[in-house]
Structures are given as C-alpha cells and as structure tokens.
Amino acid sequence: MPPDTKADNTALLTAEIEHLQSDLIGLQEVDYFLARSGNHNQVGNVATMMGAAHWAFAPSLMGSPDEDWRNPNSSDLKVVTESSEESLPGYGIGIVSKIPVVSWHRLELKGSPVGVMMAFPVDGKLKRFYVRDHPRSALGAVLDNGWLIINTHLSFVPFFNFLQLIKIKRWANTLGVVDKKKIIIMGDLNIPFGKIVCGFKWNSLISQKSFPSWAPRVQIDYFLSQALKSQDIEHVNYPHSGMSDHLPIQIVVS
C-alpha cells in the first residue's frame, strides 16, 4: 500500500534516520521553507536528527512544484548550507554529512521542454495528468577524507534524463578528486535500465528494485562508481516503512 497520510511524519522520519545510522545521506524531493510541508528546512531537520554538522540544499526551482514556480536565477542562492544566509523557499535536493565537507559544488541541469502523462492515485483510483518538467541539478560534496559524493534527481522524461546523467558523469571528473575509487554518484535517476545508466565506464554498486516502495517493480535509484564494483561494498536492504514511495538504498564502504 502507499505511504500512510495520517502517520506522524516527524516521528517516522526520526526513527528511520536512527535506523539507517548513516555517515552521509543524499535526499531528493525536499522542501525548503515551503508552506505545503509546514515551513521547514527539511535538509537541516535531517541533519539535526542525524547529529550531523554539515548539510546543503540545492534548489531545483524557487517556490513549490505544486503551485507557481520559477527557475533559479543569478540572484538566488544556489547552494544553501548550515553556514550560509537563508534563501527564498524552494524545492530540490540535499546532502547531509557527519564527515566534514571541504567544499560544495553544483551543476545546473535544464528541464525538458516537454512533459509527460503520469498516473497519480486520487480517491483510490489512478488518474492521468500532464506533468511539465522542471530544472534539475546535481549537488557535489568534497569530503575531508578525500571522497566526492554527488547527489541528483533527474528528469522523468525518457532520454532527456540520460543526457543529464552524461553531463553529471563528465562533471564528476572535473572537481579535483583524482582517485576514481573515491567518486560516487547517487540518487533518483528515473531510468529503469541499469545497462543504460552504467554505460561503458561506470558500475552500479547495487541491484535493488526501489520503486514503488510498497511493491517494488523497477530500480531507478542508484549508486554509481567508475572503479568500485558491487563486491567492494556492503549493500544494506531496508523494507517499506511508509515514509516514502521509494525504498531507501544504502551501502557501506570500508
């Protein structure tokens, strides 16, 4: 069944964060002081739950995706962190890290000029709506242990999301981390074909159907590496908790 709309979301999220016991978490589809989610800094809240000193939020759009929104412009803060000034309300992605972050980086990704028809549950029935795409971004964290972690949430428009992923892969090798074993791309890629996601130079570190969480049918969430392989990491599986329509994916790297 889908997520329980009557659940105590804060308590549920806190329990799940404590259960994960992660040093770093990548978040997608998060709100930053939007009325629809109670005017919270959701990334900052997760950092508090984790006891993590470092976090960043990258707005993909300004305003709420459910209402009128606009593209981020030159006057907007593109990476909001624990040490920056507050930004205008927005929606996007984030990273929370217990490991100190040396530098934050952002890659702008344009949205598709065309949308798609998507099905959503309404009053117990699936109804189809035309959904327009919006700008995307990739958020990179260079950690003081030498690792580069990139988090993203790509377009739901087929082929367009593949072009976005190519840009991120190229960008990953320009951020100063030479050891390719220490570069990981993670996130919701919205591409259900693992071979297309990996291409010729990248490996998928896990194989796990992750969507929808209550009855997983496809894998669209990934960890990618140019040098590490699945046998080099430990893959931790978590069942559906009612918190999200995606299952959390988690790896442990020695």
pTM, two decimal places: 0.92
Domain assignment present for 186: yes
Cβ of 11: how many Cβ atoms within 10 Å?
9
Q: Given the DSSP bridges, would you call strands 148-153 and 183-188 parallel, antiparallel or unpaired?
A: parallel
Domain assignment present for 1: no
Angle in degrees, CA 67, 26, 110, rounded to 5: 50
**CA-to-CA distance for 227 and 135, rounded, in angstroms?**
30
Domains contained in the chain, number: 1
Domain assignment present for 134: yes
Domain assignment present for 15: yes
How far is residue 22 CA from its own chain's centroid? 15
Place of tokens 């606009």: 70
Domain that includes residue 159, residue range: 9-252
Domain assignment present for 2: no
Instruction: Count CA atoms within 13 Å of residue 126 on its CB side.
Output: 4
Per-residue pLDDT of the chain (254 residues; tens, 9 = 90+): 344 556 677 888 888 888 888 999 999 999 999 999 999 999 999 999 999 999 999 999 999 998 889 999 999 999 999 999 889 999 999 999 999 999 999 999 999 998 888 776 677 676 888 888 999 999 999 999 999 999 999 999 999 999 999 999 999 999 999 999 999 999 999 999 999 999 999 999 999 999 988 889 999 999 999 999 999 999 998 877 777 889 999 999 98
CATH assignment at residue 175:
3.60.10
Domain assignment present for 24: yes
